[in-house]
Amino acid sequence: MKRSTSLFFYLLSFYVLLQFAWWGFHLIQLTDIVHAENGLSSKRVFMIVGEGMVFLLILVVGIWRIRRSIRKELELSRHQNNFLLSVTHELKTPIASNKLYLQTILKRDLDAEKRNNLIEKALLENDRLEKMMDNILNASRLENRKLLVHKEEVQLSHFVTSIVDRHKKIYPEVEFHCSITPSIHTNIDPFLYESIVNNLIENAIKYAASFGPINIELEQKNTIILRVSDFGPGVPVEAQKNIFKKFYRAGNEETRNQKGTGLGLFIAAEFTRIHKGQLKYSDNQPQGAIFELIL
């Protein structure tokens, strides 16, 4: 919805309220003139005022609800615009990189080691592109309620360790600290749980890899808790209530340096809900972010 439409709605609402007040004033005035005897005037005035107040209350509530709907539409439109800008950039980067790697392999006589190195880089870019497409498809399935869940018994400790090991290989420059309690078993959908963990780790890498190590902890008490923490800038207080919303990313997409689509944490939260668990955010100390996945 365009802002001009929103402005027109507010002007129209103000005009309707003003005309309502003007109509009520003249109606009461006319009643006083016509029925200025036997006390009928005051009774009719009270009746008109009472009915008018009910109508005014209904009108005000209706205007408030429509205004709230318009604000939500404007906010969603802004987030969708940011999403399109981000996806366009995210798609171009790995495609351009892979094109360059392939052109280099074709046009130059490289030894086996250099050629394999370029192929490995191309595969990593392809993996990054595949993860982004998975997020987009998963968001679409969630929206259309077409996501299929297949739970099974999983050795969770080994499962999480393998996910972390894969990220260590993809991001050798990032320091990971792991504390994983052995022999934890639980009933989960492996694909959904892996997507949650991937998105939490990728989020930490994206915003905090340059600030220090990323910690991954898995423990079992009364519940099974997976904790991903970092020492980055954390999430501003005003943005914390929105971080699990679809398309939400703090700041302006045109000036933001961090990559992403605004779907990772949304998908993590929704997949956690499907598992009847909780995904919580808290501030780390002295700085940073902590995400806890509780099953």
Beta bridge partners of 155: 185
The CATH architecture of the domain made up of 152-294 is 2-Layer Sandwich (3.30)
Cβ contacts of residue 58 below 8 Å, gap of 6+? none
DSSP 241: G
Q: How many residues appear in the chain?
A: 295
- Record the pTM: 0.63
Task: Answer yes or no: is pLDDT of 268 > 50.
Answer: yes
Q: Which of 65-74, 155-164, 174-183, 195-204 has the lowest mean pLDDT?
A: 65-74
- Higher-pLDDT residue of 16 and 293 is 293
Cis peptide before 286 (omega within 30 of 0): yes
Top-confidence residue, 185 or 245: 185
pLDDT tens digits, residue range 273-291?
888 899 999 998 888 999 9
